[in-house]
Structure 1
Amino acid sequence: MHIVASLEQSLFLELAITELEEKGIAKNKIVAVPLKKKAGNSRIFDTIHRADGISLFDGAMILGTVFAILGAIYGTVLKWGPVLWGIIGLFTGFAVGLLLDLLINKRRTAGKKTKPIPAEVVLIINCDREQAEMVEKVLWDNQALGVGRINT
């Protein structure tokens, strides 16, 4: 039987491995696989399948629409006509809205200090069925993020 657990890279990981070795699990039956952290910042544009909850174009679209309507309304009395003033209003409103969204999001993210994400380690322990409960208890006692069994 295999027990698979995910733990943060910390002192608790070392304590869990040491405790398992003290309780009769051989060193060669414990495998620790460190996971790599993703490097880099998030993307600016969202997709249908992945979104970070921050939209840059909502405010730009709203202000673009409002300015386009105002341009078309007041364009009836201005020289170039409602169509051109509507298009000018659309682009002006979009640019103003985009700048406002960028400034607001920059201010929000500047105020938040990002906590570094700790690296995770996946432990795979090969043990007998009789030892499975003990192994799971040791892992949960040492702050495992998740534990699973694979019956072989």
Structure 2
Amino acid sequence: MYIIASFDYSPSLEIALTELMENEIPQNNILALPLDKMTESPRLFDSIHYADGTSLVDLAGILGCIFMLLGSIYGFVLEWGPIIWALIGLVVGFITGFFIKWIYIKAKYKRSFSKSKTEVFVIIYTREDNKVHKIKEILWQHNALGLTVYQGHNT
């Protein structure tokens, strides 16, 4: 029988593993597997095969329209006329919105992944049914994120 639990890597995980060994669970029946954290930066541009729902052009389009409107309004009193100033406003607004969103996404990525801890999966093998409840109790006491019992076949 396998008891599988997930933990954030913390001192409580180490205490749980020590307590399991003190309760007559052999060390070779306990397997702790840390997961790797994502280290690559997110893709800024979506492709046909990958889309994460984050768009860089939404704010750029909004600011482009606003600046274009302002350029066409004030273009009537400026020297080059409303059409040229509307196009200048469109380009300036689009570039401004694009870079604001790009900086926001970079900061959000850095903030979210700097806080994340490494997750660890702990797999405990036991043949004794009477120890399962005690093992589960120890794991829950030491802040397990999730836990399941798998009654696999014996090979």
For normalisation by structure 1, the TM-score amounts to 0.70
User: C-alpha separation between the residues in 2 aligned to 1:87 and 1:122?
Assistant: 56
Indicate whether 1:119 and 2:118 are aligned: yes
| Letter in structure 2 aligned against 1:50 | D
User: C-alpha separation between the residues in 1 aligned to 2:114 and 2:74?
Assistant: 50
User: C-alpha separation between the residues in 1 aligned to 2:14 and 2:79?
Assistant: 77
Return closer, same or farther for 1:70/1:115 CA change in 2, 3 Å cut-off: closer
Return closer, same or farther for 1:113/1:126 CA change in 2, 3 Å cut-off: closer
Return closer, same or farther for 1:100/1:27 CA change in 2, 3 Å cut-off: closer
1:65 CA displacement: 1.9
- Aligned counterpart, 1:150: 150
Instruction: Please state whether the residue corresponding to 1:3 is helix, strand or coil.
Output: strand
Q: Percent identity?
A: 38
1:125 CA displacement: 0.3
User: C-alpha separation between the residues in 2 aligned to 1:124 and 1:102?
Assistant: 41
Q: Deviations over 1:90-143 (max 9, x none)?
A: 22321233345456x39x76xx79754222221100123221111110001111
The Cα RMSD (Å) is 3.5
Return closer, same or farther for 1:114/1:124 CA change in 2, 3 Å cut-off: closer
Stretches of structure 1 that go unaligned for 5 or more consecutive residues are none
Indicate whether 1:140 and 2:140 are aligned: yes
Stretches of structure 2 that go unaligned for 5 or more consecutive residues are none
Indicate whether 1:29 and 2:29 are aligned: yes
Return closer, same or farther for 1:114/1:32 CA change in 2, 3 Å cut-off: closer
1:62 CA displacement: 0.9
